[in-house]
Amino acid sequence: MKRLFNYFCLPSVFLVSILLISCGASNTKMTGSWKNPDVTPKKYESVFIVFIGGNQQLKQQVEDELAARASLKGLLATKSKDVFKPTFGRESMPEQEELLSEIRESGAQAIFTVALKDKETTTRYVPGTTTYYPLGFRHYGRFYGYYANYYPMGYDPGYYKQDNVYYLESNLYDVETEELLWSAQSKTYNPSNFESFVKGYTEALIEQLIKDGLIKP
């Protein structure tokens, strides 16, 4: 464990710096993580941040947030959106050497990726609630007296709610060897906006890093 911690000391500083967010309940849950048991101690001073997904707005917000937090700690952070050509995509997947050349020219020693693996949308029925107000027996004598006092019954009708679940995978790689050093999977329930999405994700991620012993609490 000590060897692992020494190995991740610099990446850990990077991850701590990018994942510090305001306190609060998170709607993101980690579903699993893995760390490479056969790592060689190495000091990282720079990182290349890559969000993999078609949503450009989310890509920008994730990469900007992570890079800003890393820079605050004096680490050189490069965002893929500032380096990769606009033509990089499904229809024009770059060759391995072309892609790695772009990353290495930035001076990055490690690569941190965030991939939006899947989005699941489901619809569920939320039943309504009924509240009865207390009545006195004296109102039972005549119809209107009973009806008028029974009428103030609160009823909240049921409705259908759409749930959105986003599945993310986070990986840390060594640039020189391309070796996977650490990986984690998460899912986020019904984020209200991209900002809450990013904050909930980073909060859950740092908790997982602490749990895995990669960073100190």
Q: Does residue 110 register a pLDDT over 50?
A: yes
Identify the top-confidence range among 34-43, 107-116, 121-130, 197-206: 107-116
- pLDDT (0 to 100) of residue 91: 67
Long-range contacts of 68-76 (CB under 8 A, 24+ apart): 68/18, 69/17, 69/18, 69/19, 69/20, 70/14, 70/17, 70/18, 72/17, 73/13, 73/14, 73/16, 73/17, 75/13, 75/14, 75/17, 75/45, 75/46, 75/47, 76/45, 76/46, 76/47, 76/107, 76/108
pTM: 0.70
Average pLDDT over residues 67-74: 72
